[in-house]
């Protein structure tokens, strides 16, 4: 039986303030480019984590942890 932990899903940095700052080309709410906003859901977990590590997105502190939902 595999006892490896299930990776925690990456939560979206979206804070529901979807407005682009044209001067810098980033969203005013989450600091992502338009392409990153559009493609976030298609990114792998590792691509999402990389975007966060590189500072291309910020998580809202009020969002809290993402809890996996288990059936059963």
* Domain around 33: 20-59
How many structural domains is the chain composed of?
1
Asked if residue 66 belongs to a domain, the reply is no
Examine the pLDDT at 5 and tell me if it is beyond 60.
yes
Classify residue 5: in a domain, yes or no: no
- Report angle CA 31, 8, 65 to the nearest 5 degrees: 60
Answer whether residue 44 is part of any domain: yes
For the chain, the average pLDDT equals 75
pLDDT at residue 65 is higher than 50: no
* pLDDT at 20 > cutoff 80: yes
CA distance 67 to 53: 21
> What is the pLDDT confidence band of residue 22, given thresholds at 50, 70 and 90?
very high
């Amino acid at each position: 039986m595999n006892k490896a932990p299930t990776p925690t899903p990456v939560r979206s940095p979206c804070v529901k303030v979807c407005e682009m700052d044209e001067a810098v080309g980033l969203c005013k709410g989450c600091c992502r480019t338009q392409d990153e906003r559009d493609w976030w859901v298609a990114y792998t977990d590792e691509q999402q984590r990389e975007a966060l590590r590189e500072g291309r997105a910020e998580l809202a502190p009020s969002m809290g942890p993402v809890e996996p939902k288990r059936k059963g």
